[in-house]
Chain A
Amino acid sequence: MPVLARWIEAAGIPTVIVTMMPSVAEERRAPRIVGVEFPFGHAFGMPLDRAMQRRTLELALRVLAGASGFGTRVDLDVEWPVPVREAYRAWQPKEPSPIVRKMLESRGTSSRP
């Protein structure tokens, strides 16, 4: 998605990417980045937690409108309120995705990564 942000930015529309992997977005040269330490699928926060979602969205708007130059990254200082091991399991699909299944088969194992 960082490269999609770049193409849209290059067309003249300012962008910000809200991502769980901000260091990767930096490597891929996204113009503006908000980092969130949230599980995948939850870019703006916990379900039904409007206060957390609002903090994330307002930071994204501030970075989008206020960043002074290319590569600006601001990380959101909010801790995910679920134990890491539990959250790590919860975001993953019930069945491995096709690409993960392919990786596992190529390693000759049926265990999850």
Chain B
Amino acid sequence: MVVDSFKFLPRSFRPLYEGRGPFPGEKEPVWAPFEKRLAESSFALLTSAGIYLKRSQPSFDLEHEQTHPDWGDPTWRAIPASAAAADIGVAHLHINDEDLLADPEIALPMHLLGQLASERIIGAPAAEHIAVMGFQDRRLTDWQQKTAPELVAHLRGQGADGLILAPA
């Protein structure tokens, strides 16, 4: 089957996404070959669901977004793979957070990834996964110049062989 990319999107939103092509300067293929076996590899997860540790990390900045609707917080949070659902907060103005709070694995399946490691399907999960808030500034300047290099450095520090990204 072929997924209908607009099945759950309000009809009026479709033109905002469809037919706009690549971002400027982002047309050429990019490719990093995956050369190891899954069972010898470490994987990290990245969600844009606005997840953070509610007792030890600041929330994403929703107040600024309320007054600047075109802006989205470009910061990120490192989420320990051991974090429990009860530790997780969600800061996101574009989705209903009830299911995310009930089961953060729907966006960041870090315990499931740990289960696959225990079954030796993969080598190991990263010690820390990544959460962003998802609503990206349309100019993307902060993301390109600051957030992305920080994430790359973090992933290298974790020894991640691959990254699974999941937009909210």
Contact = CB atoms under 8 A, between A and B. Distances in A.
A11 B8 contact: no
B3 A43 contact: no
Contacts of A18: 164-166
B162 A64 contact: yes
A101 B94 CA distance: 11
A101 B158 CA distance: 40
Range for the number of chain A residues in contact with chain B: 35 or more
Interface residues of B, number: 85
Contacts of B94: 40, 93, 97, 99-100
A65 B93 contact: no
A44 B29 contact: no
Nearest to B21: A27
Nearest to A66: B34
B5 A4 contact: no
A67 B164 CA distance: 14
Interface of A: 1, 3-24, 27-29, 31, 35-48, 50, 53-54, 56-58, 60-61, 64-67, 69-71, 75-77, 84, 87-88, 90-95, 97-103, 112-113
Given A40-B95, A57-B112, 18 more contacts: A7-B148, A16-B165, A17-B167, A21-B9, A24-B5, A29-B30, A39-B8, A40-B9, A41-B49, A41-B97, A44-B112, A47-B102, A47-B106, A65-B41, A91-B8, A93-B92, A93-B95, A95-B93
